[in-house]
């Protein structure tokens, strides 16, 4: 039974993954257990199937009749239609997915059907050979359709293989127990079958496109417009390409582009100049500034050539490093425009079809090697009141906080570090922070109320605090990537490590600040504290571990509520019908005893006496005659006057038709039963006494 449950659970998890449902493992486990018990209780044998189907049919007919009398048939039909419509839209491709309650309903129905099939088919002669190809066909279909496309699906794949092996040996041992045969061949055959299948699948799938256990490739359309658009709200890359301060950092694990880099971590997309309530904007009227970091500090840095290839993104924005030179693009049809003031690049003649599969560009990126020399050079530069357009922010609370943070610090560079350190030490990174209930400013709420947020909040706060001190700062969006070559990272690394490319996902979206140093240009500063050196790893971890915790709790509660409702709506009517059925059986049995002949009553009482003796460890052995058994009971059980051996002689005559029982003998036999019960009361366990009491109550 346990093997059947495990095999069914493997199927349910696999089908849930193939269908792209977002039901958690815990919820699937709850659904599987509920379905397994329901299939046993309602469909365990032919009698239960008949009662269950009859009860459900009567319930349905009765329900429709009541609704007809109440005149709410149209309302119910509309509700049913509204519930079913998303399924049809999803099948037709008009809707991307159905919601969690509907997913639970589908998986529940499928899981009940699965357990019914498993329980009914396990006795078939060739079931041991049928279910293996069926399992492999399901796996192959999932891969061919690229439905097993999430990182978690690889664990589903392995668990399903494990369940199939467990179930195979369960069937094998069940049958050899019956045949009393043991053979090594089934072990060898199943080992060969699964070895070939697993090795073949792994070789085939990891050398094909699309790759397994990875999100299906999607094209994400991003804009460099400062106005932004609501159609991008579902992607975390909006953080990298929009100046809007978002309520939460969410992502879908979509690969956007790949980059060949060893040390360059930051790739900026858009630089913003001015801040209004909850939004950063670009201001084209601001004066141009020099940008000579690459040439000024090339001697203390390391230059590497970066190559970027767009794989899942359509955008005019060309992502580049903070300090670059020698930008190059191979396609002669593409016209590239450079915003020297902001250090950004974009395609001037952009159309949706201009970026092809192999679209790529390159540039030289400077990574500062001697950070102490770099810092000392910058500490000599006076920052305050050098670029008025990027200075000043009229907010008394922020100004007072900035003064408090930088109290006693004279050097402007040290003030930058002090503000960034303050934010990192006193605020908590949270991709789903608390947000103001009214339409108040989110950055002010972050600084003085919630004290939790993600990169947008940290960077905006740092820029505004610096501006309040008349230190020119601006807000930058882009991506921060993991430059390590770790196989523990996302599966896409498998296909890129050999080529030197690293994938960049929408989860790598990031924001930071740049501060203007007169004579050099704009210098970037990381202002977000996420507890590890690489913020992307933490953002991914927080997304996968923290945000789903709250979502899983809600989802678990929602699933349990749905199962409880289903249990109540289907279980209560079935329980009532079964209760009525039991009452009818009891009344029928008691009437049969009451109206039956004395001989019939004696037979019933005799069987109850034997049941009591057996429950108290006085069974009748096969080698004993009824008379010998009665004499043994008389010797071992102390009774007052009645002797079982005397009664059994008369009972045998009645059974074999030599004597007709009368009411007096029935009374005598009943009295003997009472004596037996009184004497054996302390020798019988409670649950056996309860069982015998129920049987006696029903029979007599």
Give the model's confidence band at 630: pLDDT under 50 very low, under 70 low, under 90 confident, else very high. confident
pTM over 0.75: no
Q: List phi, psi (to 5°) of 573.
A: -60, -40
Instruction: Give pLDDT, residue 221.
Output: 45
Instruction: Give pLDDT, residue 195.
Output: 58
Q: With pLDDT > 90 as the criterion, what percentage of the chain qualifies?
A: 19
Residue with the bigger pLDDT between 390 and 293: it is 293
Residue 90 has pLDDT above 90, yes or no: no
CB 447 within 8 A of CB 401: yes
CB 528 within 8 A of CB 535: yes
Q: What is the DSSP letter of 194?
A: H
Residue 305's closest CA among 500, 116, 148, 140? 500
Residue 92 has pLDDT above 60, yes or no: yes
Token pair recorded at residue 183: 């053979």
Instruction: Give pLDDT, residue 476.
Output: 93
Burial group, residue 634, by CB count within 10 angstroms (0-12, 13-18, 19+):
middle
Give the model's confidence band at 236: pLDDT under 50 very low, under 70 low, under 90 confident, else very high. very low
Instruction: Give pLDDT, residue 403.
Output: 93
Q: List phi, psi (to 5°) of 172.
A: -60, -50
What are the b/e assignments for 280-318, b being 16+ CB within 10 Å? bebeeeeeebebebbebbeeebeebebebbbbbbbbbbb
Instruction: Give pLDDT, residue 427.
Output: 92
Distance of CA 442 to the CA centre of its chain: 30
Please give the Cα distance from 560 to 30 (Å, whole number).
8
CB 283 within 8 A of CB 354: no
End-to-end CA distance of the chain: 37
**pLDDT by residue (tens digit) across 105-151?**
888 888 888 888 877 776 666 555 566 667 667 666 665 555 565 55
Report the largest interatomic distance among the alpha carbons of the chain, rounded to a whole angstrom.
127
Please give the Cα distance from 480 to 478 (Å, whole number).
7
Burial group, residue 60, by CB count within 10 angstroms (0-12, 13-18, 19+):
exposed
Instruction: Give pLDDT, residue 201.
Output: 53
Instruction: Give pLDDT, residue 233.
Output: 35
The rounded radius of gyration (Å) of the Cα atoms in the chain is 39
Q: List phi, psi (to 5°) of 274.
A: -125, 150
Residue with the bigger pLDDT between 103 and 487: it is 103
CB 462 within 8 A of CB 527: yes
Helices assigned H by DSSP within 637-682: 644-655, 663-680
Residue with the bigger pLDDT between 143 and 250: it is 250
**pLDDT by residue (tens digit) across 411-456?**
999 999 999 999 999 999 888 888 888 888 999 999 999 999 999 9
- The most confident of the ranges 579-583, 656-660, 680-684 is 579-583
Instruction: Give pLDDT, residue 314.
Output: 75
Residue 323 has pLDDT above 90, yes or no: yes
What are the b/e assignments for 387-416, b being 16+ CB within 10 Å? beebbebebeebbebbeebbeeeebbbebb
Residue 77 has pLDDT above 60, yes or no: yes
Which residues lie below 8 Å from residue 66, measured CB to CB, with a gap of 6+? Answer: none
Task: Report the DSSP pairing between strands 266-272 and 473-480.
Answer: antiparallel
Residue 685 has pLDDT above 70, yes or no: yes
Q: Which residue has the tokens 């070789």?
A: 203
**pLDDT by residue (tens digit) across 447-466?**
999 999 999 999 999 999 99
Instruction: Give pLDDT, residue 420.
Output: 94
Q: With pLDDT > 70 as the criterion, what percentage of the chain qualifies?
A: 72
Residue 385's closest CA among 464, 472, 283? 472
Residue 289's closest CA among 365, 340, 346? 340
**pLDDT by residue (tens digit) across 487-507?**
334 444 444 444 677 888 888
Lowest-confidence region among 5-14, 192-201, 532-541: 532-541
**pLDDT by residue (tens digit) across 332-389?**
888 899 988 888 998 888 877 777 666 789 999 999 999 999 999 999 999 887 788 7
Lowest-confidence region among 81-85, 490-494, 657-661: 490-494
CB 251 within 8 A of CB 239: no
Please give the Cα distance from 620 to 512 (Å, whole number).
88
Residue 290's closest CA among 617, 518, 20? 518
**pLDDT by residue (tens digit) across 273-290?**
889 888 898 888 887 888
Instruction: Give pLDDT, residue 439.
Output: 82
Instruction: Give pLDDT, residue 516.
Output: 92
List, as own/partner pairs, every contact residues 136-143 make where C-beta atoms lie below 8 angstroms and the sequence separation is at least 24, other chains included: 136/197, 138/11, 138/14, 138/15, 138/18, 139/14, 139/201, 140/201, 141/18, 142/14, 142/17, 142/18, 143/201, 143/205, 143/212
CB 23 within 8 A of CB 103: yes
Residue 612 has pLDDT above 80, yes or no: yes
Please give the Cα distance from 431 to 472 (Å, whole number).
28
Which residues lie below 8 Å from residue 700, measured CB to CB, with a gap of 6+? Answer: 590, 593, 601, 604, 605, 608
Instruction: Give pLDDT, residue 560.
Output: 67
Burial group, residue 361, by CB count within 10 angstroms (0-12, 13-18, 19+):
buried
**Average pLDDT across the chain, whole number:** 76
Residue 294 has pLDDT above 50, yes or no: yes
- The most confident of the ranges 52-56, 81-85, 217-221, 669-673 is 669-673
Q: Which residue has the tokens 């002090």?
A: 418
Give the model's confidence band at 198: pLDDT under 50 very low, under 70 low, under 90 confident, else very high. low
Lowest-confidence region among 482-496, 523-537, 655-669: 482-496
Instruction: Give pLDDT, residue 407.
Output: 92
Residue 2 has pLDDT above 80, yes or no: no
Mean pLDDT of 224-231: 38
Instruction: Give pLDDT, residue 699.
Output: 82
Instruction: Give pLDDT, residue 24.
Output: 78
């Amino acid at each position: 039974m346990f093997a059947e449950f495990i095999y069914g659970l493997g199927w349910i998890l696999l089908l849930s993954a193939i269908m792209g449902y977002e039901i958690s493992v815990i919820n699937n486990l709850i659904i599987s257990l509920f379905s397994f018990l329901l299939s046993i209780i309602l469909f365990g044998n032919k009698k239960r199937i008949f009662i269950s189907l009859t009860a459900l049919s009567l319930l349905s007919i009765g329900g429709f009749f009541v609704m007809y009398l109440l005149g709410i048939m149209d309302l119910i039909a509309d509700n049913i239609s509204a519930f079913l419509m998303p399924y049809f839209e999803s099948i037709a491709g008009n809707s991307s997915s159905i919601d969690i309650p509907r997913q639970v309903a589908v998986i529940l129905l499928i899981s009940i059907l699965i357990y019914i099939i498993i329980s009914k088919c396990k006795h078939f002669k060739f079931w041991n050979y049928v279910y293996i190809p069926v399992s492999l066909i399901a796996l192959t279909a999932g891969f061919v359709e690229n439905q097993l496309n999430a990182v978690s699906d690889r664990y589903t794949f392995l668990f399903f293989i494990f369940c199939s092996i467990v179930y195979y040996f369960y069937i094998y041992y069940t049958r050899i127990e019956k045949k009393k045969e043991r053979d090594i061949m089934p072990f060898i055959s199943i080992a060969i079958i699964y070895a070939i299948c697993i090795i073949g699948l792994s070789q085939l799938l990891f050398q094909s496109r699309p790759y397994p256990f990875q999100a299906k490739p999607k094209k994400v359309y991003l804009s460099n417009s400062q106005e932004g658009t609501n159609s991008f709200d579902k992607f975390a890359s909006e953080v990298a390409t929009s100046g809007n301060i978002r309520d939460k950092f969410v992502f879908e694990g979509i690969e956007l582009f790949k980059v060949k880099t060893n040390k360059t971590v930051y790739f900026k997309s858009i630089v913003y100049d001015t801040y209004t309530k909850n939004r950063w904007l670009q201001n084209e009227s601001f004066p141009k500034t020099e940008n000579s970091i690459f040439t000024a500090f090339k001697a203390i840095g390391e230059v590497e050539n970066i190559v970027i290839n767009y794989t899942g993104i359509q955008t005019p924005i060309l992502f580049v490093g903070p300090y670059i030179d020698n930008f190059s693009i191979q396609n002669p049809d593409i016209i590239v425009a450079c915003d020297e003031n902001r250090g950004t690049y974009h395609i001037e003649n952009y159309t949706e079809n201009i970026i092809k599969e192999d679209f790529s560009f390159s540039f030289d990126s400077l990574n500062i090697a001697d950070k102490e020399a770099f810092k000392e050079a910058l500490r000599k530069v006076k920052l305050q009141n050098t670029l008025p357009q990027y200075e000043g922010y009229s907010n008394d609370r922020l100004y007072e906080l900035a003064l408090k943070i930088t109290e006693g610090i004279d050097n402007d560079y040290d003030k930058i570090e002090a503000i960034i350190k303050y934010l990192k030490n006193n605020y908590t990174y949270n991709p789903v922070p608390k947000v103001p209930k009214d339409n108040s400013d989110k950055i002010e709420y972050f600084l003085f109320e919630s004290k939790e947020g993600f990169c947008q909040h940290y960077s905006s706060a740092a820029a505004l605090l610096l501006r309040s001190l008349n230190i020119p700062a601006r807000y930058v969006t882009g991506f921060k990537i993991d430059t390590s070559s770790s196989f523990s990272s996302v599966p896409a690394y498998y296909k890129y490590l050999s080529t030197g490319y690293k994938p960049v996902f929408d989860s790598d979206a990031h924001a930071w600040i740049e501060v203007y140093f007169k004579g050099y240009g704009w210098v970037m500063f990381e202002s977000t504290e996420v507890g590890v050196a690489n913020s992307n790893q933490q953002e991914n971890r927080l997304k996968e571990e923290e945000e789903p915790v709250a979502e899983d709790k809600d989802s678990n509660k929602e699933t349990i509520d749905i199962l409880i409702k289903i249990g109540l709506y289907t279980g209560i009517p079935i329980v009532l019908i079964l209760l009525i059925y039991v009452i009818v059986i009891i009344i029928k049995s008691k009437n049969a005893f009451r109206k039956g002949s004395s001989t019939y009553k004696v037979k019933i009482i005799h069987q109850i006496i034997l049941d009591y003796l057996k429950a108290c460890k006085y069974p009748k052995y096969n080698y004993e005659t009824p008379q010998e058994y009665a004499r043994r009971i008389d010797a071992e059980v102390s009774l007052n006057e009645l002797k079982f051996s005397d009664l059994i002689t008369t009972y045998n005559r009645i059974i074999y038709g030599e004597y007709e029982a009368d009411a007096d003998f029935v009374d005598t036999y009943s009295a003997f039963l009472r004596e037996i019960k009184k004497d054996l009361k302390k020798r019988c366990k409670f649950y056996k006494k309860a069982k015998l009491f129920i049987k006696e109550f029903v029979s007599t």
